[in-house]
Amino acid sequence: MMHVTMRQLSTFEALARLKSFSATAEEMHVSQPTVSKQIKALHESVGVLLIEQIGKKIFLTEAGEALYETCVNWLHMWNRFEQTIADLKGLKQGRLSVCAVTTTKYFMPRLLGPFLSQYPDIDIQLEVVNRDRLLERLARNQDDLYIMGVPPENIEAEAEPFMDNPLVLVAPAAHPLARRKRIDFKTLAREAFLLRERGSGTRIALERYFEERNTPLKIRMELGSNEAILQAIIGGLGVALLSQSTLSFYSEHRKLAILNVVGFPLMRSWHTVRPRGKPLSVVANAYLEFLHLHIDQLLE
């Protein structure tokens, strides 16, 4: 008889999906040796090889593929069971799982803290990841709610705006255009841009803006975080389109300038997103209502 734990199955599901021990450890908030230990124990319990590692690449065996499909179904059923129990308990107890894109880290704690103060026994889990990782989690229905700027086009999902998200053009404070008014698009198009990775919401918005005007976008560099882009701007490497919320808490904002370009800022919204048809738990529904009722006060 197999003696397999829920922890082992959760670890295996994450490793099979992410194909990386380090990414699995990061998602599960444990060390890589802990992940390896869980997988080794699972192999011993099952009695056959589930995962093969060749160099740094991870492959599932036939048995591994079968177990992975089982894990996905099991986790889905377990999440439904947790939601049922949370609904029975109402708002006295329960869990709220929120996954948000990285730019939201500047304001999401302020949108969750007051709710937790009102319902202190609710367990809130916030995952802050890049857009690609968020879309993976959304496709697998791993969380109650997802917070993002540009809703997905290739995933069946329901999106609802809840807050303005103005996108501004940022340059070094000493940039020749920093003090100019009503800069035209032709002048802007001559600038070299610093971009986030492909799939980023701000990158999608900028690329669409240039495509609509049949103008090539001059890309100087791709960087993996807003902080890296801000430092690159200060270093004089180029200009960038960023969410205004990125600048609100940046300690060196005096070294930056928001360019006065005709048509900017691009007015967008932050959205709450969930898989289409997904029934909301009592806790998730209460948080959405709380968010819409108090958003102005939360941002003051």
pLDDT in tens, 196-225: 988 888 899 999 999 999 999 999 999 988
Judge whether residue 227 has pLDDT over 60: yes
Q: 157 and 172 share a domain?
A: no
Range of the domain at 27: 6-71
Q: Write the CB contacts of 65 (distance below 8 Å, at least 6 apart in sequence).
A: none
Residue 10 falls within a domain, yes or no? yes
Residue 1 falls within a domain, yes or no? no
Contact 224, 196 (CB under 8 A): yes
Q: 177 and 259 share a domain?
A: yes
Q: 172 and 262 share a domain?
A: yes
What is the distance between the alpha carbons of residues 270 and 148, in angstroms, rounded to a whole number?
6
The number of folded domains in the chain is: 3
- Mean of pLDDT values over 260-279: 92
What is the distance between the alpha carbons of residues 83 and 96, in angstroms, rounded to a whole number?
10
The closest alpha carbon to 124, from 159, 86, 160, 157, belongs to 86
Residue 281 falls within a domain, yes or no? yes
Residue 143 falls within a domain, yes or no? yes
CATH code at position 61: 1.10.10.10
Judge whether residue 300 has pLDDT over 60: no
Q: 287 and 241 share a domain?
A: no
Q: 129 and 159 share a domain?
A: yes
Residue 95 is predicted with a pLDDT of 84
CATH code at position 109: 3.40.190.10
DSSP-derived secondary structure letter, 239: B
Strands 145-148 and 219-222: unpaired
Q: 150 and 273 share a domain?
A: yes
Contact 258, 166 (CB under 8 A): no
Residue 79 falls within a domain, yes or no? no
Can you tell me whether residue 242 is helix, strand or coil?
Answer: strand
pLDDT in tens, 24-64: 888 888 888 888 898 888 888 888 888 888 888 888 989 88
pLDDT in tens, 103-158: 898 888 888 988 888 888 888 999 999 898 999 999 988 899 999 998 988 889 99
Residue 157 CB neighbour total at 10 angstroms: 20
pLDDT confidence band for 78 (50 / 70 / 90) = confident
Q: 179 and 261 share a domain?
A: yes
Backbone φ and ψ for 54, nearest 5 degrees, come out as -115, 110
Give the chain's length: 300
Residue 35 in tokens = 């992940």
pTM for this model (two decimals): 0.68
Residue 83 falls within a domain, yes or no? no
Q: Write the CB contacts of 1 (distance below 8 Å, at least 6 apart in sequence).
A: none
Q: 156 and 174 share a domain?
A: no
Q: What is each CA distance from 239 to 25, 254, 260, in whole angstroms? A: 35, 15, 13
Sign, CA torsion 276/281/287/292: positive
